[in-house]
Structure 1
């Protein structure tokens, strides 16, 4: 079967110039990049002995913590606003009747799946009593998935670790 030459577009191969044929220019560009990185400041950190500096700690969103009130009780009133606002659906709260007279409910169980969390800060913004906050701790590590599900006691222990270095941010003063 014969083809019709009118429907065929012939493309010519581009001709390389002197620099393209010798690859000298490309070699010099690559060598320049290599030398620039070789003589620049090192960016590696000897972890865990050294830690990265967080550029702006008030804006950085790390591990969650549950805050305590002045009496040492959990500040959460189990209103479920943080769990409702969470787009990743990683917060689970079981409410119980409060033994204290200043609130109706408290969280009997409060868990956050840190592996599922996207650290957006919506839970922090939704909380009416500033009970949940994101700290500047960034080194999340665990040997199993179960270790990365933070329960109420672990979230309160994060507060105990960070209460002196990161005071509570009160948004509603």
Structure 2
């Protein structure tokens, strides 16, 4: 049995090509061109003085931080069904259920937390929620903190977030 093997000669393998000098030179040329252009006309550099100036290019469809909604009687709308945590691809939602005593449903969340450092802000939790208890319409696009625990939102923080487009709950069950 004979095999047809085709030998392909490599392109130039000079020392100059092996050191990537032409590519490094081209990259540095572009970098220095922008550097000196910005240095000569500092007012042409586009700068946003955050947080005094807020970005204006955020669309209405932007998914902000999460929030938990309330019913009209001010009780929590979440029924601790775990659908949001099940749908979450990054497994950043942690829910512990307890029995509900206000007569609305069987259970409610005893603890509800979202690790925003793990969250990919995909919105699957909002889509999976059967009673519209979790939303991502706060309009909050930045969260700052000094330690990891500052980025884990608990139930009280999620309930305190208000919707940027009005508080309307469509989960009023009797």
Q: TM-score, normalised by structure 1?
A: 0.71
CA, structure 1 residues 81+41, in 2 after alignment: closer, same or farther (shift >3 Å)? farther
Contact map agreement 1:54 1:60 (CA 8 A) in 2: no
Question: Hey, what does 1:167 align to over in structure 2?
Answer: 166
Give the gaps of 5 or more residues in structure 1: 1-6, 12-25
> Higher Cα Rg: structure 1 or 2?
1
1:77 is matched with which residue?
79
Contact persistence 1:88–1:118 (CA under 8 A): yes
- Which residues of structure 2 form unaligned runs of 5+? 1-7, 13-28
**Among 147, 155, 159, the residue aligned to 1:156:** 159
Aligned residues: 144
Work out which of the residue numbers 65, 86, 95 in structure 1 matches 2:97: 95
TM-score (norm 2): 0.70
For residues 132 and 54 of structure 1, do their structure 2 counterparts lie closer, same or farther at Cα, with a shift above 3 Å needed?
Answer: farther
Q: Which digits, 9 at most, give the CA deviation of each residue in 1:126-170, with x for residues without a partner? A: 0011111113211110111011110000111113xxx4x322577
RMSD: 3.2
Whether contact under 8 Å (2:70, 2:169) holds in the other structure is no
Q: Which runs of 4+ in 1 moved over 4 A?
A: 7-11, 38-42, 168-172
C-alpha displacement at 1:55, in angstroms? 3.3
Q: Which residue of 2 aligns with 1:136?
A: 139
Structure 2 SS opposite 1:123 = helix
Q: How far 1:10 moved relative to its partner?
A: 9.4
CA deviation vs aligned residue, 1:59-89 (integer Å, no higher than 9, x gap): 1012111111111111100000000000000
